[in-house]
Structure 1
């Protein structure tokens, strides 16, 4: 019996020696496996945080997503791939189907990444392991819906160049622009039908070298928003008139009377101020009748828009969108830039948001409030099409370079406007 036990003892020792590698391999697989699962969970968390940040910024910002992944994962050997997408409703079958059933439109943002990590226990020919490295993937989606009701003020270029065709469409620019505004109001109408108690509203002011709106006799009245003194020579050009920049700013929110001078061809244009309304069909019927002619002076539309917002704003969010196809005409370019430097655009934002004003006698604004006492917020943006954005320095400085967008085609313009209207921060999507 003792001899038998000694033989069994030897067998047990041999068996133990044989299974040690297997046990160690199980330990290593368990350790690296648990680490891989934890790393994947962390990558998913990073993707969720990144996609919310991307949706708030409203850009396909790969570097921002990469920064989030590096922050969440402390032992990354390499980020082997990263993908950031912004998809419009038209690119999402679920969204298209939803809008047909009366649901709100949304934009979807996607962040997906893959990272590689060095294994703690790579294994060898005898012991199983993960190899020298292992990879994990993670992804997340967020959606931005239209949320708070918005007052949208379009500042539209009705200069003669808008009658030209452009590379982004088959029609004249002015006709494509009308189609785009029609599409925007259609989307707003869907939202308003869902939330009739808090509807979006739209307004418009147009410009060439002047602005127009109805006078007391319901006839179009051409107005100059600048403070000027006519040159003594009746045949002189607009550029020879004396321009008073600071006095123009001091009277920025004063509704002007009839213009002293109407430049050549400006009077051939037909457009007028359209005040905030929820009657979107009537709004579009009037826009369809407008005609473009004359030169370009964006300062005119910006000043007039500020007056409309000051007098008629009601919703919590004020969005002012400048739509133009080119640089201001001749001397107006320098005048716009000068007025921006004196506070023309910051005065409009600060009037609504609260802040210092450069208008004589207005001091510091405490901000504008809705009828319910809610603080309003204002944002200004420029959407330029068919020209280099840097060509109009005044407009760029007016809204800030991060709020200037170049559109290559009609869809670009439409999606950018709708993106500006949607809520500031997205929600994670399943």
Structure 2
């Protein structure tokens, strides 16, 4: 019995000796295999970071991509190959198809790399291994959407309350707002300096209880955008024809028969789309506020400007106000909104059902449906409206909220907040990882 056990223990020792190379081989393959997988994951991360950096710089910068890979893969032996590509929209069928659907053009950036790494356990004739070295590849891509030029139309409250001081700034609300508009113009100017072939433009229309613009002789003309069927002694006594006001909202009105008390203390007028931001801000700086508040006046006038003078693919209409409409005007604004005052503006540009007469403009409307507006280059326009309210509770101005929709109403607590919200509406991402 003891003799048999000694024979079996000898067999076990021989079997273990035979298995040692295989066990070491499994250990080596497992160690280097796990390292290779981890290295590939790091190279993929490096490629993602590198392609975003390349897209932000907007160049086929091989050295920049190489530095990212070197930083992430500090234990590599060498970079065998690195490829950085920038593809224009015309080089990608999927981008061409997207533009035909009215979507934005984009550049696509691609970074691919291959690195060499020394094996920890190269193996030999007896024990399996990865060999002296192994290669790892990784790639990523990002898209940078071309920042489409924007026509921005400010609808600015020039009522008396804008002369008041407020907790959100050191000056009056009007003077702080002038500074904000100047800051926005500076941002747009910086973009236009980089891309002069596709410039942003800006326009402004103001309101108290009227709107004002200059005629051909440079004289100021005060206009009432409402259609009044019977005029009373004061605005509150007027009989407003709401249906006709909507039907004719895109028709430029004649001179107002009456200017409400206090409104003539204000001085402002329409500033049409321009890229001369220096001249634009100098004019805005001279504007004065006075009188009551009737946002419907500014909204209707802005619609006339946008539908007759816009050129860029994106149209952004921003209403800036410090409070609710005066008395009877609050009800008038909300009633006009319910009849399509704001949706008509958006649908005239974007395409859709409109309740306004279109015989006095160039927008094609068939069966009460606008076919949408096109840029001079034949691209479909897209319009958005937003309200930035400050120094009051937004829910108090139901008309403005219903005009643009709850998701497009923003409350600003201070001067910096207003600026950031305006720039947030304008700014586009530098790039994002492609799917």
Matched ranges for 1:194-205 at <5 A: 194-205=194-205
Alpha-carbon distance between aligned partners in 2 of 1:333 and 1:378, rounded to the nearest angstrom: 25
Residue 207 of structure 1 corresponds to 207
Aligned pairs (5 A) from 1:118-137: none
Distance in structure 1 (CA, Å) of the matches to 2:258 and 2:410? 33
> Normalising by structure 2, what TM-score?
0.67
Aligned partners of 1:318 and 1:379 also within 8 Å: yes
What are the within-5 Å matches in structure 2 for residues 28-107 of structure 1?
none
Alignment match, 1:281: 278
1:371 matched to which residue of 2?
376
Aligned-partner SS, 1:180: helix
Q: Deviations over 1:135-192 (max 9, x none)?
A: xxxxxxx998881111111000111111111121111111110111100100111111
Task: Tell me the SS of whatever aligns to 1:371.
Answer: coil
C-alpha separation between the residues in 2 aligned to 1:186 and 1:284? 10
Name the structure 2 match of 1:399. Answer: 404
Partners of 1:230 and 1:26 in 2: CA distance: 95
Aligned counterpart in structure 2 of residue 332 of structure 1, from 329, 332, 336: 329
* Residue 3 (structure 1) shift: 9.0
Runs of 4+ in 1 over 2 A off after TM superposition: 2-16, 142-146, 229-232, 422-429
SS of structure 2 residue aligned to 1:382: strand
How many residue pairs get matched?
Answer: 331
Partner of 2:291: 294
Supply the distance in 1 between the matched residues of 2:299 and 2:145 (Cα, whole angstroms).
28
For residue 243 of structure 1, what is the aligned residue in structure 2?
A: 240
1:216 shift after superposition? 4.0
Structure 2: how far apart are the matches of 1:143 and 1:9?
A: 67
Q: 2:300 maps to what in 1?
A: 303
Offset, 1:427: 2.6
1:322-365 CA-to-partner distances (Å, cap 9, x unmatched) read 11111111111111111111111111111111111111467211
Q: Measure, in 1, the Cα distance between the counterparts of 2:431 and 2:411.
A: 23
Q: What is the CA–CA distance in structure 2 between the aligned matches of 1:14 and 1:166, rounded to whole Å? A: 89
Q: Distance in 1 between matches of 2:391 and 2:151?
A: 27
Preserved contact between residue 144 and residue 422 of structure 1 (Cα < 8 Å): no
Match of 1:12 in 2: 13
Matched residue, 1:226: 226
Match of 2:165 in 1: 165
CA change 1:422–1:238 in 2 (3 A) is same
Deviation at 1:4, TM superposition (A): 11
Alignment RMSD (CA, Å): 3.9
Write the distance in 2 (CA, Å) between the matches of 1:291 and 1:260: 22
> Conserved in 2, the CA contact under 8 Å of 1:146 and 1:422?
no
In structure 2, distance between residues paired with 1:262 and 1:243: 16
1:334 counterpart SS class: helix
Aligned residue for 2:134?
none
Could you tell me how far 1:424 is from its partner in structure 2?
7.1
Q: What SS does the corresponding residue of 1:331 show, helix, strand or coil?
A: helix
Match of 1:119 in 2: none
What corresponds to 1:383 in structure 2? 388
Change in CA separation of 1:144 and 1:228 when aligned onto 2, cut-off 3 Å: farther
Q: Is the 8 A contact 1:180 1:410 kept in 2?
A: yes
Distance 1:12 1:354, change over 3 A: same
Tell me how far 1:319 sits from its aligned partner. 0.7
Is 1:189 the counterpart of 2:186? The answer is no
Query: Residue 180 of structure 2 corresponds to which residue in structure 1?
Result: 180
Structure 2 residues not aligned, in runs of 5+: 53-141, 359-366
Preserved contact between residue 356 and residue 365 of structure 1 (Cα < 8 Å): yes
Structure 1 residues 391 and 243, CA, compared in 2 at 3 Å: closer, same or farther?
same
Shift of 1:215: 2.6
> Counterpart in 2 of 1:254?
251
- Show the counterpart of 1:266: 263
CA-CA distance at 1:367 after TM superposition: 0.8
Task: For 2:391 and 2:423, locate their aligned partners in 1 and report how far apart those are by CA, in whole Å.
Answer: 20
Q: Is the 8 A contact 2:375 2:381 kept in 1?
A: yes
Aligned to 1:341: 338
Superposition deviation, residue 217 in structure 1: 3.5
| Distance 1:230-1:261 versus aligned 2 partners, 3 A rule | farther
Deviation at 1:260, TM superposition (A): 2.0
Q: CA 1:262/1:308 → structure 2, altered by over 3 Å: closer, same or farther?
A: same
